[in-house]
Chain A
Amino acid sequence: MTVEAVAVPGGRGGFGLAWRRLRRNPAAIISAAILIAILLICFPLAPLFVDLACHHGPNDQNIQGYIHQGGHRIPVVGLDGTPVGPGLRSCYMLGADANGRDLAVRILYGGRISLFVGITSALLCVFLALILGLVGGYRGGFVDSVIGRLLDLIWSFPVYLLAVALATTLAVGGLSVGPLHVSSSSLAIPIVVIAVVFVPYVARPIRGQVLALRRMEFVEAAVATGAGPVRIMLRELLPNIASITLVMLTLIVANNILVEAALSFLGVGVPVLTPSWGNIIEQGYSSIVTAPALTVAPGIAIMVTVVALNVLGDALRDALDPHARIRIR
Chain B
Amino acid sequence: MVKRALWVLAVALLAAGCGSGSGSSSGGSGGVQNGGTLRAGIPDDPDHLDTGISYAVEGWELLEATNNGLLTFKKASGPAGSEVVPDIATAMPAVTDGGLTYTFHVHPGVRFSPPVNRAVKPSDFQYAIERLFHVGSPGVGFYTIIQGANAYAAHRAAHISGIVANDKAMTIAFHLTHPDGAFLDIMAMPFAFAVPAGMPYKDISTDPQWRVATGPYMVKTYVPKQEIVLVRNPNFTQWSPNSPNGHLNGVNIQIGVTPEQAVNETIDGQLDWYMEAVPADRLSELRARYPSQVHMYPRNNDTYFSMNERLAPFNKLAVRQAVNYAIDRNALVKLFGGQGTPTETVIPPSFGSAYHEPNLYPHDVAKAKQLIQQAGAVGAPVQIWTTNADPAPKAAQYLASVLGSIGLKVTGVRTIDDSVYWDTLLSEKTDPQIAFNHFDQDYPEGEDFIDTLLNGEHIVNVGNNDVSNTDDPALNAMIDRTKRMPLGAARNAMWAKIDNQFMQRDAGWAPFMHLDEPKFVSASLHGLVFTGSYFELMPEMWLAK
Give A contacts to B, CB under 8 Å: 59-61, 63-64, 77-82, 98-99, 171, 183-185, 267, 271-273, 283, 285-290
B338 touching A81, Cβ below 8 Å: yes
Q: How far is the CA of A165 from the CA of B388 in the complex (A)?
A: 17
Residues of B whose CB lies within 8 Å of any CB of A are: 8, 10-12, 280-284, 328, 330-331, 334-338, 383, 388, 390-391, 393-394, 397-398, 400-401, 410-415, 417
Q: CA of A77 to CA of B335 in the docked complex: distance in angstroms?
A: 9
Q: A271 CA to B384 CA in the complex, in Å? A: 12
Q: Does the CB pair A286–B335 fall under 8 Å?
A: no
Q: Are A79 and B338 in contact (CB under 8 A)?
A: yes
Asked whether, in the complex, the Cβ of B398 is within 8 Å of the Cβ of A61, the reply is yes
| In the complex, chain A residues whose CB is within 8 Å of the CB of B417 | 267
6 pairs from A and B in contact (CB 8 Å cutoff): A63-B328, A64-B334, A99-B397, A272-B393, A273-B410, A286-B281
Q: Which of B283, B412, B413 contacts A80 (CB 8 A)?
A: B283
B335 in contact with A98 (CB, 8 Å): yes
B residues near A185, Cβ cutoff 8 Å: 383, 411-412, 414
Number of A-B contacts (CB under 8 A): 86
CB distance from A233 to the nearest CB of B (A): 41
If A99-B397, A183-B411 are given as contacts, then 16 extra A-B residue pairs at C-beta distance below 8 Å, sorted by A number, are A61-B398, A63-B334, A64-B330, A80-B283, A81-B280, A81-B334, A98-B335, A183-B412, A184-B412, A184-B414, A272-B412, A273-B410, A288-B10, A289-B11, A289-B281, A290-B281
Q: Which residue of B lies closest to A185 (CB)?
A: B412
Check B391 against A98 for contact (C-beta < 8 Å).
Answer: yes
Which residues of chain A come closer than 8 Å to B281, judged between CB atoms? 286-290
CA separation between A59 and B335, bound complex, in Å? 16
Chain B nearest CB, measured from A285 CB (Å): 6
> In the complex the two chains form, is B412's CB within 8 Å of A63's CB?
no
Instruction: Kindly report which residue of chain A lies nearest to residue B12, judged by CB atoms.
Output: A289
Q: Say whether A79 contacts B10, CB under 8 Å.
A: no
> How close is B18's CB to chain A, nearest CB, in angstroms?
21
Of all chain B residues, the one with the shortest Cβ separation from A97 is B394
Question: Taking CB as reference atom, which chain A residue is nearest B336?
Answer: A81
Residues of chain B lying within 8 A (CB to CB) of residue A99: 335, 394, 397-398, 401
Q: Is B411's CB under 8 angstroms from A64's CB? A: no
A residues near B284, Cβ cutoff 8 Å: 80, 82, 290
- A247 and B273 CA atoms in complex are apart in Å by 56
Check B335–A81 contact: CB distance below 8 A. yes
Chain B residue with Cβ nearest A295: B10
**Within the assembled complex, what's the spacing in Å between the Cα atoms of A63 and B335?**
8
A61 partner residues in chain B, CB cutoff 8 A: 397-398, 401
- For B330, what are the chain A residues with a Cβ–Cβ distance below 8 Å? 64
Complex contacts, B334 vs chain A, CB 8 Å: 63-64, 77-81
Q: How far is the CA of A79 from the CA of B280 in the complex (A)?
A: 12
CA separation between A78 and B281, bound complex, in Å? 12
B311 to chain A, nearest CB (A): 16
Question: Are A286 and B415 also in contact (CB < 8 A) when A82-B284, A99-B398 are?
Answer: no
B337 touches A80 (CB 8 A): yes
Smallest distance from the beta carbon of A284 to chain B beta carbons, Å?
9
Which residue of chain B is the closest to A290 with respect to CB atoms? B281
- Which A residues lie within 8 Å of B397 (CB)? 61, 99, 272-273
B394 touches A98 (CB 8 A): yes
Give chain A residues whose Cβ lies under 8 Å from the Cβ of B336: 81
Given A80-B284, A98-B394, A286-B391: A273 in contact with B400 (beta carbons within 8 A) = yes
Q: Are A289 and B282 in contact (CB under 8 A)?
A: yes
Residue in contact with B331 in the complex, picked from A60, A63, A287, CB distance below 8 Å: A63
Contacting B338 at CB < 8 Å: which of A80, A267, A273, A288? A80
